[in-house]
Structure 1
């Protein structure tokens, strides 16, 4: 079977890497891909938003399944476009993808169906938002309503910081149209957790837990990024807690979307805060997380192609989704200056493959046969081991042997878990 994966980041490289292990896959394509994806797939120079060219390529090459990695084409309706033409595609419809595309949509859905989340209000008027902000005080969270590449959230510890963030989003337009509406919500305290789930409507098959590290610097300092590293599973989170999250949050959301006429089919990303009052939703995404995918898929023991097909066909309830007992840790190596302005074109030196580490490419490309940086998050170095401590050790050993000018990475990925629950 031929499969096309749309996107060009670390998440897409991880999806391709896992699909390549399927005995049923005969050829993989990636559009547009990066400097690493062509190790396992044929890169195709078609942009993720060129639906007509992508669908024509699928027809011409006899591709049996298309998998959408990033959120932008999902919101723009690529699944609807392909489905109308009878082309099998993995991902939610544009209407269902609104659960990520509009934070107000997601919050209102949760309010209607009594799904635990932070108290909030949404605004399109700056003065009204400012008045609400001042009435609530700090700490408080300000979110751009639309897509902002994982950077549209500010956790403000002071009113001054909150007012500055609000002005930047609504008046200065730092996130463009994504900030035309803002959501202002209470600041939840606790430990963050990510739970990805395969969903085919009402059936939910949760993946193993993971924990992302969004701030740019050690100790969760600095601006938010798309993610500086992650690990899986999260040992300090019990199986009972995961079962509670599935039964009180993920399944109710899936059923709510079916009931309201926009069933979700694909991967539902649930970002959670484990508070003293129990788990509460921070955000939903309509696709695999990045870099969570880079630690979750290496631990999947089932054939990913089988799971994708069962999700599309509505037979997920009959599909076994099994997991390995190992742990994984991913350290993101970023360009200097990220998440602000950063240079491109620095040559990259990679170590020899040791069999315990997978280096997933994100912001890379081949220039005249030389691998160079081509984005903010450049590489995701994933170590897999029998324990989390071993996986982390393997990842950082490989990071130490991987070089490009000005490379920046956090040195404390998985520290929270290892300090609380050495495993």
Structure 2
């Protein structure tokens, strides 16, 4: 079967790498892909050009399409593929609203008694500021729409929270995505990510991962799209996992069916382990980034077979290696604010794997073309051992001032 992965980042590279291992795959395509993806033929069609993608699928006789990023989901790519009679592993536009609108997601969780933080929604900046003053800090301010992982501010001070409101509602930093803000209570605890393959009421959870969103060590600095992480997460008990499966993932799948938004694809729950148990921070309606780059190397299954089974209503019987994996993101200096592009990508050798994200150029010379440039990962018996392997490899570039990475992930 010919297979297409839509997207251009590290998540998509990880999907391509895993799919390239499948004996069921004949030809593998990525659209648009990036210059670091050598396991597939990259086709220069942007993720949001749905007409162009449908034409590609017809011309290359592609039997399965996997959608990586959120933007095409919000545009209804799955609906368009269904109308054209094409097989796609992705949720419909209606189901993808669970990620596309944080205010919808919060109200949905309230309706279906899915545990989450208390919240309020505002489009008037003065009303939002009054609410912040009344609630006190710390407090969380989120842009309602899609903001590439950057529309969340965890404010430690009232000034920070008010600045975030002005940034989103007055200065329109995220354009229409920030026309409404969701303000949430701050939840105390450790975060973890839980993804599942879903088709209607059928939910097949993957192993847990912990993603580090803050730019600098000890979870300091601004929120990013993710600076690395590890899997599985040893401090989540079997009891809390079962609760998360039953009262979060399954309830969400059932609730979406009840609301006429039946979900097919990957459901991602960003969870906080609070004193009252796991609570939802956010939902995504696609594979997480960088979690995909960390989780897929531990999967024993043929990934294409998993997609086929889930779409056919069959249990894919997921199997996982009895190991841990750690991935660390190499980012351009200045990220997530202004950063340079065009710097040569350093060669990183060792017993590690690489998932390329913000890169351009040729096989001979890759150059930086984004904030998060690549992820360096390794597997071992424990996360600290895997982390040591990664950091040993990254030591080779310690004198390179074009890039930075966190030095505390998985340790």
Indicate whether 1:147 and 2:146 are aligned.
yes
**Matches of residues 55-134 of structure 1 in structure 2 within 5 Å?**
55-134=54-133
**Matches of residues 12-411 of structure 1 in structure 2 within 5 Å?**
12-37=12-37, 39-315=38-314, 318-352=315-349, 354=350, 356-367=351-362, 369-402=364-397, 405-411=401-407
How much has 1:402 moved relative to structure 2?
4.8
Indicate whether 1:412 and 2:411 are aligned.
no
Moved more, 391-400 or 89-98: 391-400
How much has 1:247 moved relative to structure 2?
0.8
Match of 2:5 in 1: 5
Match of 2:167, SS? Answer: helix
Structure 1 distance, partners of 2:175, 2:292, is 28
Moved more, 402-411 or 165-174: 402-411
Question: Alpha-carbon deviations, 1:381-412, whole Å to 9, x = none?
Answer: 01111221211111112222357652110001
Structure 2 distance, partners of 1:132, 1:319, is 47
Structure 2 distance, partners of 1:330, 1:113, is 35
Structure 1 distance, partners of 2:206, 2:390, is 22
Q: Is the 8 A contact 1:119 1:185 kept in 2?
A: yes
How much has 1:131 moved relative to structure 2?
1.6
Question: Alpha-carbon deviations, 1:250-293, whole Å to 9, x = none?
Answer: 10011000111011111111001100111110000000110000
How much has 1:100 moved relative to structure 2?
0.5
Match of 1:114, SS? Answer: coil
Match of 1:400, SS? Answer: helix
Q: TM-score normalized by structure 1?
A: 0.95
Match of 1:418 in 2: none
Structure 2 distance, partners of 1:262, 1:169, is 29
Match of 2:128, SS? Answer: helix
Match of 1:421 in 2: none
Q: Aligned pair count?
A: 410
Q: TM-score normalized by structure 2?
A: 0.98
Structure 2 distance, partners of 1:372, 1:160, is 39
How much has 1:368 moved relative to structure 2?
8.3
Q: Is the 8 A contact 1:347 1:405 kept in 2?
A: no
Match of 2:206, SS? Answer: strand
How much has 1:367 moved relative to structure 2?
4.6
Structure 1 distance, partners of 2:124, 2:299, is 46
Match of 1:205, SS? Answer: strand
Q: Is the 8 A contact 2:328 2:377 kept in 1?
A: yes
Structure 2 distance, partners of 1:384, 1:226, is 22
Question: Alpha-carbon deviations, 1:209-252, whole Å to 9, x = none?
Answer: 00010010001111000000100001111222211111111100
Structure 2 distance, partners of 1:222, 1:212, is 15
Structure 1 distance, partners of 2:322, 2:237, is 15
Return structure 1 stretches of 4+ with deviation > 4 angstroms.
402-405
Structure 2 distance, partners of 1:86, 1:311, is 18
Q: Is the 8 A contact 1:348 1:402 kept in 2?
A: no
Q: Is the 8 A contact 2:102 2:144 kept in 1?
A: yes
